[in-house]
A and B are shown apart, each in its own frame.
Chain A
Amino acid sequence: DVKVTQSSRYLVKRTGEKVFLECVQDMDHENMFWYRQDPGLGLRLIYFSYDVKMKEKGDIPEGYSVSREKKERFSLILESASTNQTSMYLCASNGVPLYEQYFGPGTRLTVT
């Protein structure tokens, strides 16, 4: 079974802190994605990566950065956390067939 794991299920951080969310997949997938999920807004793409050290902005990249040093790992970084970044963060990956994305369980981040 494909497995996408995220480093934390719940995280509480203070405004201004630097926050790292980690995602690891075990299927040698090329593509990896970070989304945030908010009630009434669905899933919105923050960043994605189609290869090691490659990244592209999604629909809402402001306030976020990413890192992909190894194929299996994709990190989302909040440089200076703000309360409007309180959300559920979901990581996903896919390989072949390209259209099926596999999701991690999510990290619920609260910024106080």
Chain B
Amino acid sequence: GNSVTQMEGPVTLSEEAFLTINCTYTATGYPSLFWYVQYPGEGLQLLLKATKADDKGSNKGFEATYRKETTSFHLEKGSVQVSDSAVYFCALSLTGANSKLTFGKGITLSVRP
């Protein structure tokens, strides 16, 4: 079946630190990959996406590259801010699967001033 594995959390960083959140996946076909973010008290919102191998998704200073050879989609940001404190979810979707998303367990990021 399809699954998404995220690194264990929580993660606490100081402001301006470099961020990497690991995500690997297992899928029966060729998935599209996503990062969603959930700020405190809110629903999830799409952060970035990549729909085929070697695509790089980017938004708000965050980046992730679709690596088919390592089945990974790691999230990175060069300099985090306090406002980046949130829960981050990696997810995949298979074409033709009624666009259902399979989510990882999520990881909480806290950024200290």
Contact = CB atoms under 8 A, between A and B. Distances in A.
Given A90-B44, A103-B44, A103-B45, A42 B105 contact: yes
Interface of B: 32, 34, 41-46, 49, 51, 89, 93, 98-101, 103-106
B101 A31 contact: no
A100 B49 contact: yes
Q: Which of A41, A43, A48, A56 has the most CB of B within 10 A?
A: A43
B49 A90 contact: no
Contact of B43 (A31, A42, A90, A94): A90
Contacts of A66: none
Interface in A39-65: 40-45, 48, 50, 56, 58
A98 B93 CA distance: 10
A23 B106 CA distance: 23
Given A99-B93, A103-B45, A31 B98 contact: yes
A98 B89 contact: no
Given A40-B105, A42-B105, A106 B43 contact: yes
B49 A103 contact: no
Nearest to B105: A42
B98 A48 contact: yes
Interface residues of A, number: 25
A99 B101 CA distance: 8
Contacts of B45: 102-103
A67 interface: no
A76 interface: no
B88 to A, nearest CB: 11
8 contacts: A40-B105, A42-B104, A43-B89, A92-B43, A92-B44, A103-B43, A103-B45, A105-B41
Q: Which of A4, A44, A99, A100 has the most CB of B within 10 A?
A: A99
Contacts of B44: 43, 90, 92, 101, 103
B105 A94 contact: no
**Which 9 residue pairs spanning A and B have beta carbons closest together?**
A103-B43, A42-B105, A98-B99, A43-B103, A103-B44, A105-B43, A42-B103, A99-B93, A99-B32
